[in-house]
Chain A
Amino acid sequence: MANKKYDVIIIGAGVVGCMVARFLSRYKLDILLIDKEADVGMGASSANTAIVHAGYDPVPGSLKAIMNVAGNRMWDTLAGELNFPFERRGDYVVAIGDEELPLLNNLWERGVKNGVPGMMMLSGDEVRRREPNINPKVSGALWASTGGICDPFAVVIAAAENAVQNGVTLMLETAFEDFVMEGNRIVGVKTNRGTFGCRWAINSAGLYSDVVMHKAGQYPEFKITPRKGEYYVFDRAEITINNVLFPVPTPVTKGILVTTTIHGNTIIGPNAQDIQDKEDRSVTREGLAEVWRDATKLVPKLDLRHVIAVFAGLRPGGNAPCKTPGVNYGHDYIIEIPEGVQGFVNLGGIESPGLTSAPAIAQRVIEMLKDAGEKLEEKRDWDPIRPARPRFRDLSPEEQKILIRNDPRYGRIVCRCETVTEGEIVAEIHAPIPARTYDAIKRRTWLGTGRCQGGFDTPRVVEILARELGISPLEVTKKGPGSQFLVRPTKDVEG
């Protein structure tokens, strides 16, 4: 029946699936990680606000609250081991005008209940001093010192790469279709690339986690409703808000923020719009207008002329009721090994703060497997360290000099706005998880994300990808099959 038999198959290589793979790679298990896309982390994990939340927001007693606070604590070690950019800058929830001020107290109380350390209430004056660009009507802020920012692409890629280093098999463009059952036990996974046997299947399919659990006969009433969030990105050279500024939250969302990426660009967003189509990552006029309206309430000085990009992400929002007695909350995470089916680890509805929570969820998966009787023997040669590759722009002139001397390709700048060199691109193409598309290189090097948005680098990257992969430029894609850049050679007629 099966091509090959694994101990564990992980369905979906977003931040959750990749963290689970990385944490499980510590044990003597044969693991397969699959994703339907051409790269890891193309779902919710690729388009979000990139904040490692402190944990004052989720409803106390919910799995969300527990995972958030537990996850937050794990990030320093993780960033050290996996070598991705992460900074604990703290974050602010900002009250504008007197009417918003009391709402901060609610958050404070939630934070205390959830066990969030390092919170502080700040006066309007103090906030104005710390962030001069803020709306002068600011009346106070809740400050949480454990809030952080990261590069979410880098996190996913680093986790996946470390998993692969430690023996996990990654198959991309491999879509889950169904389970192979023996009685009520899952014994395999059917994909578009064949059927693979397994003792455990882990559902980390994000937006499609409902579909996957339904195939396992779980929670037929559970439904993911994609909730779209749209953003603007600003030119680093034009405006920098170095802080993470939340508005006071609404009952549904944390609201539209003004924040900074770890690369120094100010970003604003996201709004929250429930939609039907799980593939609809389009940006809308109305959505952008809403983001603009709310963000300029926090920072009136924002200028549309300095926008360099807009994008949208989809939150995999679920409808699972919280199982803690006495907590009335209908959008909790599902993290469990269900009773009704054997060999299934079900992770569903992992919406925000899913990025923050991912390492805690992975840790919880280990504990659940142990509880289910898995022996989980540690490998002696497990290596938790994912070595970083050189980032030219972050090096000192001395280090740059040495790098170019050893490999002249680091002396050729391919992306002028973000200062990315040919050497870095080639290194990513030949990395443990090879970057085989333009977007894969973009996510790994940050190339093409600057002012010219790839206008300068695109022809050069197409050429490098073709050369390094030994394919024709006509076969090079932006993000996988069907997204080729070029259609045919020219005819050589004079124009």
Chain B
Amino acid sequence: MLKQKYDVIVIGSGPAGLAAAIEAKKTGAEDVLIIERAKELGGILQQCIHNGFGVEILKQDLPGPAYAQRFIDEAEQLGVEVLLDAMVLDISPARHIYAISKWSGFAELDARAIVLSMGCRERTRAQIRIPGTRPAGVYTAGTAQRFVNIEGFMPGKRFVILGSGDIGMIMARRLTFEGAKVERVLEIMPFLTGLIRNYVQCLLDFNIPLQLRHTVSRIIGNSRVEAVEAVQVDDKWQPIPGTEEIIPCDTLLLSVGLIPENELSRKAGVALDPVTGGPYVDEGMQTSVPGIFAAGNVVHVYDLVDWVTEAGFRAGRSAAKFALAERKRAARQVKLQPGDNIRYIVPHVMDKESLAEADQRLQMRVIQPIEDKVWVEVLDGDNLVTRKSQRYVRPGEMVTVDIPQKAYDAVQKADTLTVRVVRR
């Protein structure tokens, strides 16, 4: 039976939402509800039947559904309530939620705190503006993954994949297992955008060629894709005339990036960062609207599920404390600002007092790959607050750096901390 009011309502039941609900319960919130628009819990993990989940925090290499099941079971044991096959349509800044579902009809609920964990959606053909016709046979990699892994159908026989994102590479392998021919993976950037691990395991091991600095310049075919035209690009991503090549195929898969899904956040008045596409958050994952928290791909796009789960824990804990009126308002915050070769940092601001309780983790993406030893440095002006060494940095792999508790004093003096990546 649905209640009218909850301590914490979590929207979306991927790894971020599940972790948030679990941790909210553990922190002492009594009534915790997850609302999920799919028919089952687990989010995108349910269609990721390949291994590669949980290596960092479970120290186990699990398929996506098995990883999700761990947390689904735990949420159930803790008494988290669930509303499935229900879509949240609106949230007010006062945390009034409006959802509809085939089974329960129409629900209006109030929450003391909300965790947004709606995940992300895939960029489409139009967002990268591929010229040509509009036939059947152009799919985003995630849609194809759903057809193959959930519905049990092959969306084509001969594939070209645009984009070296992880989902695309994972699908290249999956489709090859299924007897399809993957002609090629094309990547417009001069470097891989997904994980090297996936490049090796999904492309190299199956002799699928990857062409960097290449894109699709035209889709050909009226009813169904008949071919694509591939072309090399220059440093400004413009096609180089004379390098066009027609690749016959019946399907084009797009793995050209993910965008946080924030239509609801917008309705709730949550301020969004144009760089990440997700909400501005503090170290406890609170958004610009008090009482509304966010975690997972809705904030910024992750590469590893483990860090999604961890962010979910953090958001769930903060949300429960807020609901129980235990979360202190940050008196003094320090801003975190991207410096050399950093595209963005999450969180965007940090309560200076938070270092009294624990180390604080910063997550970020670099702009350019550096295949060499680097320092990831956190600075207050010219003063080094902390730094860490890495063997390389790549845009496809999230970079993290912890601000240790022992930096407490240094941080108290700062208004802004800048993070940069420099060669050693």
Instruction: For B178, list chain A residues within 8 Å (CB).
Output: 490-491, 493, 495
Does residue B222 face the partner (Cβ distance < 8 Å to A)?
yes
Interface positions of B from 74 to 100, Cβ below 8 Å from A: 85, 87, 89, 98, 100
The answer to whether A489 and B152 touch across the interface, beta carbons within 8 angstroms, is yes
By beta carbon, the residue of chain A nearest B147 is A459
Name A233's contact: one of B87, B126, B259 (CB within 8 Å): B126
The stretch from A17-25, A303-311, A354-362 touching chain B is: A303-311
Contact bitstring B244-264, A, C-beta under 8 A = 1, else 0 = 000000100000000100010
The answer to whether A484 and B124 touch across the interface, beta carbons within 8 angstroms, is no
User: Interface SS of chain B: helix, strand, loop or mixed?
Assistant: mixed
- A416 in contact with B87 given A237-B263, A309-B126 (CB within 8 Å): yes
Does residue B266 face the partner (Cβ distance < 8 Å to A)?
yes
The answer to whether B266 and A237 touch across the interface, beta carbons within 8 angstroms, is yes
Does residue B317 face the partner (Cβ distance < 8 Å to A)?
no
Name A481's contact: one of B146, B218, B223 (CB within 8 Å): B223
By beta carbon, the residue of chain A nearest B274 is A305
Query: Considering the chains assembled together, what is the distance between the CA atoms of A303 and B147 in angstroms?
Result: 33
The answer to whether B122 and A404 touch across the interface, beta carbons within 8 angstroms, is no
Instruction: For B136, list chain A residues within 8 Å (CB).
Output: 477-479, 483-485
Instruction: For B152, list chain A residues within 8 Å (CB).
Output: 489-490, 492
Query: Considering the chains assembled together, what is the distance between the CA atoms of A459 and B151 in angstroms?
Result: 8
The answer to whether B131 and A284 touch across the interface, beta carbons within 8 angstroms, is yes
Query: Considering the chains assembled together, what is the distance between the CA atoms of A417 and B261 in angstroms?
Result: 10
The answer to whether B142 and A455 touch across the interface, beta carbons within 8 angstroms, is yes
Instruction: For B37, list chain A residues within 8 Å (CB).
Output: 413, 416
Query: Considering the chains assembled together, what is the distance between the CA atoms of A233 and B134 in angstroms?
Result: 15
The answer to whether B223 and A480 touch across the interface, beta carbons within 8 angstroms, is yes
Contact bitstring A443-471, B, C-beta under 8 A = 1, else 0 = 00000000111111011001100000000
Does residue B121 face the partner (Cβ distance < 8 Å to A)?
yes
Name B100's contact: one of A281, A404, A458 (CB within 8 Å): A404
- A455 in contact with B143 given A282-B131, A310-B126 (CB within 8 Å): yes
Does residue A279 face the partner (Cβ distance < 8 Å to B)?
yes
The stretch from B25-33, B102-110, B302-310, B334-342 touching chain A is: B102-110
Does residue A251 face the partner (Cβ distance < 8 Å to B)?
no
The stretch from B16-24, B153-161, B345-353 touching chain A is: B153-161
Name A397's contact: one of B98, B129, B250 (CB within 8 Å): B98
The answer to whether A495 and B173 touch across the interface, beta carbons within 8 angstroms, is yes
Instruction: For A310, list chain B residues within 8 Å (CB).
Output: 126, 129, 131
Interface residue tally on B, bucketed by range: 35 or more
Instruction: For B126, list chain A residues within 8 Å (CB).
Output: 233, 307-310, 453
Does residue B101 face the partner (Cβ distance < 8 Å to A)?
yes
Instruction: For A419, list chain B residues within 8 Å (CB).
Output: 89
Does residue B49 face the partner (Cβ distance < 8 Å to A)?
yes
Interface positions of B from 212 to 232, Cβ below 8 Å from A: 217-219, 222-224
Query: Considering the chains assembled together, what is the distance between the CA atoms of A413 and B37 in angstroms?
Result: 8
Instruction: For B179, list chain A residues within 8 Å (CB).
Output: 491
Instruction: For A397, list chain B residues within 8 Å (CB).
Output: 98, 106
Query: Considering the chains assembled together, what is the distance between the CA atoms of A482 and B225 in angstroms?
Result: 10
Instruction: For B148, list chain A residues within 8 Å (CB).
Output: 490
The answer to whether B154 and A453 touch across the interface, beta carbons within 8 angstroms, is no
The answer to whether A486 and B224 touch across the interface, beta carbons within 8 angstroms, is no
Query: Considering the chains assembled together, what is the distance between the CA atoms of A405 and B102 in angstroms?
Result: 9
Interface positions of A from 61 to 107, Cβ below 8 Å from B: none
**Residue among B49, B150, B151 with most chain A CB within 10 A:** B151
Instruction: For A308, list chain B residues within 8 Å (CB).
Output: 124, 126-127
Query: Considering the chains assembled together, what is the distance between the CA atoms of A355 and B87 in angstroms?
Result: 38
Does residue A487 face the partner (Cβ distance < 8 Å to B)?
yes
Instruction: For A477, list chain B residues within 8 Å (CB).
Output: 136
Instruction: For B222, list chain A residues within 8 Å (CB).
Output: 279
Does residue B140 face the partner (Cβ distance < 8 Å to A)?
yes
Does residue A473 face the partner (Cβ distance < 8 Å to B)?
yes
Query: Considering the chains assembled together, what is the distance between the CA atoms of A269 and B137 in angstroms?
Result: 26
Instruction: For A458, list chain B residues within 8 Å (CB).
Output: 139, 143
Does residue A283 face the partner (Cβ distance < 8 Å to B)?
yes
Instruction: For A422, list chain B residues within 8 Å (CB).
Output: 102
Name B127's contact: one of A283, A284, A307, A311 (CB within 8 Å): A307
CB distance from A314 to the nearest CB of B (A): 12
Query: Considering the chains assembled together, what is the distance between the CA atoms of A492 and B49 in angstroms?
Result: 12
Instruction: For A283, list chain B residues within 8 Å (CB).
Output: 131-132
By beta carbon, the residue of chain B nearest A478 is B136
Instruction: For B250, list chain A residues within 8 Å (CB).
Output: 487
Instruction: For A129, list chain B residues within 8 Å (CB).
Output: none
The answer to whether A282 and B101 touch across the interface, beta carbons within 8 angstroms, is no
CB distance from B31 to the nearest CB of A (A): 23
Does residue A412 face the partner (Cβ distance < 8 Å to B)?
yes
Does residue A288 face the partner (Cβ distance < 8 Å to B)?
yes
The answer to whether A408 and B102 touch across the interface, beta carbons within 8 angstroms, is yes
Does residue B387 face the partner (Cβ distance < 8 Å to A)?
no
The answer to whether B155 and A404 touch across the interface, beta carbons within 8 angstroms, is no
Does residue A474 face the partner (Cβ distance < 8 Å to B)?
yes
Instruction: For A408, list chain B residues within 8 Å (CB).
Output: 102-103, 105
Contact bitstring B189-207, A, C-beta under 8 A = 1, else 0 = 0000000000000000000
Known: A282-B218, A455-B124, A479-B136. 11 other contacts (CB 8 A): A237-B266, A304-B129, A308-B124, A311-B134, A411-B101, A411-B105, A451-B263, A463-B151, A484-B136, A487-B157, A495-B50
12 A-B residue pairs with Cβ-Cβ distance under 8 Å, sorted by A, are A237-B263, A283-B131, A308-B126, A400-B100, A404-B106, A411-B102, A452-B124, A453-B124, A453-B126, A486-B154, A490-B154, A491-B179
Query: Using a CB–CB distance below 8 Å, which chain B residues touch chain A?
Result: 37, 49-50, 85, 87, 89, 98, 100-106, 121-122, 124-127, 129, 131-137, 139-140, 142-143, 146-157, 173-174, 177-179, 217-219, 222-224, 239, 250, 259, 263, 266
For the complex of A and B, 5 pairs with smallest distance between CB atoms: A482-B223, A478-B136, A483-B136, A483-B223, A453-B124
Query: Using a CB–CB distance below 8 Å, which chain A residues touch chain B?
Result: 233, 237, 279-285, 288, 304-305, 307-311, 397, 400-401, 404-405, 408-409, 411-413, 416-417, 419, 422, 451-456, 458-459, 462-463, 473-474, 477-495
